[in-house]
């Protein structure tokens, strides 16, 4: 497996792979790879002929500089993990390689990014869609793999692909969870052992919401109240938002229909975590 740092090398290797008739799979990541990422890389390995993993802690998608500074970084370990899961190439550019002096072009998905993460992290999705657009142009993938955990991100990227006509197929794969239910996330490394035990309450809250919807409860507010009550059992956890939304529009629903999507963001100690669950 090769590791490249600059776009010229990346383009050259991508073109060579295309000339050899390879179908290109792409897994964009911010590194600190966990089983969630590895499940994407393995699937890409099964479904395509040449797998690119990008590892880039994208500065413009962080709305708080402390969050950017504390974000876990582990390139050497990441490269080994990516290779073992089947990556053919790791693209690990510097911030200056992606955003050279004078950079000033942004891609923005408007309505779908107004609420939830977009509301609590101003500028976040503009940063995400801008870097994903650039990475698509550099990697020219046939298929791109994203995790369902970042449900709003996956929905926004799908919108961008459709609206701007990227010739990329998007696959969104299920959230990988730890045995207690905590969604795999690079930020989990920032939790203390106690917080980590407490953090599974997010999953339990989502699970309770799903259970109630499957029991045919229909009043969104009633379901959300019971989901909040679950999280209140862990004192170190504070809900930032919790919502039942239409999976297509991400708009909140008062009368719950299926399919529905449950979205949740909470701080556990100082660490901000998000999770979600689909209810069919």
Length reported for the chain: 280
Least CB distance to a copy of itself at residue 141 (A): 13
- Is position 115 an interface residue for a copy of itself (rule: CB under 8 A)? no
Least CB distance to a copy of itself at residue 277 (A): 25
Give how many residues touch a copy of itself by CB under 8 A.
29
Residues 6+ apart with CB under 8 A from 172: 145, 146, 147, 148, 154, 158
Binding residue (CB under 8 A) for a copy of itself from 6, 84, 137, 192: 137
Tokens, residue 257? 């229909």
Cis status, amide bond into 270, omega within 30 of 0: no
Part of the chain binding a copy of itself (CB under 8 A), chosen from 62-70, 161-169, 176-184, 189-197: 161-169
For the CA atoms of 55, 89, 36, 280, the dihedral, rounded to the nearest 10 degrees, stands at 110
From the number of C-beta atoms within 10 Å of its C-beta (0-12, 13-18, 19+), residue 193 rates as exposed
Neighbour count for residue 164 (Cβ, 10 Å) = 12
**Residue placing its CB nearer to a copy of itself in the complex, 29 or 129:** 129
Least CB distance to a copy of itself at residue 43 (A): 24
**Please, how many CA atoms are within 13 Å of residue 97, restricted to the half-sphere of its CB?**
17
The catalytic residue among 37, 124, 207, 280 is 37
Distance separating alpha carbons of residues 180 and 104, to the nearest angstrom: 44
**Residue placing its CB nearer to a copy of itself in the complex, 106 or 258:** 106
Least CB distance to a copy of itself at residue 73 (A): 23
Tokens, residue 212? 């109630």
Part of the chain binding a copy of itself (CB under 8 A), chosen from 36-44, 132-140, 194-202, 208-216: 132-140
Distance separating alpha carbons of residues 91 and 30, to the nearest angstrom: 11
Part of the chain binding a copy of itself (CB under 8 A), chosen from 27-35, 36-44, 131-139, 268-276: 131-139
- Is position 106 an interface residue for a copy of itself (rule: CB under 8 A)? yes
Least CB distance to a copy of itself at residue 160 (A): 5
Beta partners for residue 267, in sequence order: 238, 272
Binding residue (CB under 8 A) for a copy of itself from 77, 94, 108, 251: 108
C-beta of residue 204 within 8 angstroms of C-beta of residue 212: no
Residues 66-105 touching a copy of itself, rule: CB under 8 A, are 100, 102-105
Active site residue 37: yes
Residues 174-233 touching a copy of itself, rule: CB under 8 A, are none
Residues 6+ apart with CB under 8 A from 38: 81, 85
Binding residue (CB under 8 A) for a copy of itself from 39, 61, 129, 205: 129
Q: Which sequence positions are flagged as catalytic?
A: 37
Residues at the interface with a copy of itself (CB under 8 A): 7, 11, 100, 102-112, 129-130, 133-134, 137-138, 140, 159-160, 162-167
């Amino acid at each position: 497996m090769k590791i490249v740092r600059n776009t010229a090398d990346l383009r050259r290797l991508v073109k060579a792979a295309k000339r050899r008739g390879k179908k290109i799979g792409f897994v964009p990541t911010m590194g600190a790879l966990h089983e969630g990422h590895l499940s994407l890389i393995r699937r890409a390995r099964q479904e395509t002929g040449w797998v690119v993993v990008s590892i880039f802690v994208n500065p413009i998608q962080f709305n708080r500089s402390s969050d950017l500074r504390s974000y876990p970084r582990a390139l050497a370990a990441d490269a080994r993990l990516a290779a073992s899961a089947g990556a053919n190439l790791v693209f690990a550019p510097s911030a200056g390689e992606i955003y050279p002096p004078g950079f000033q072009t942004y891609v923005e998905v408007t309505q779908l990014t107004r609420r939830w993460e977009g509301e609590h992290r101003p500028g976040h999705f503009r940063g995400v869609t801008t870097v994903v657009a650039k990475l698509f142009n550099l990697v020219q993938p046939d298929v791109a793999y994203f995790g369902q955990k970042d449900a709003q991100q996956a929905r926004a990227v799908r919108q961008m692909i459709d609206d701007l006509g990227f010739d990329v197929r998007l696959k969104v794969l299920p959230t990988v969870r730890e045995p207690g239910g905590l969604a795999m996330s690079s930020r989990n490394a920032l939790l203390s052992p106690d917080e980590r035990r407490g953090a599974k309450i997010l999953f339990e809250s989502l699970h309770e919401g799903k259970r109630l919807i499957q029991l045919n409860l229909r009043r969104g507010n009633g379901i959300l109240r019971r989901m909040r009550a679950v999280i209140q059992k862990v004192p170190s956890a504070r809900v930032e938002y919790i919502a039942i939304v239409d999976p297509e529009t991400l708009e909140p629903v008062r009368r719950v229909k299926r399919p529905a999507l449950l979205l949740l963001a909470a701080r556990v100690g100082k660490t901000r975590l998000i999770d979600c669950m689909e209810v069919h």
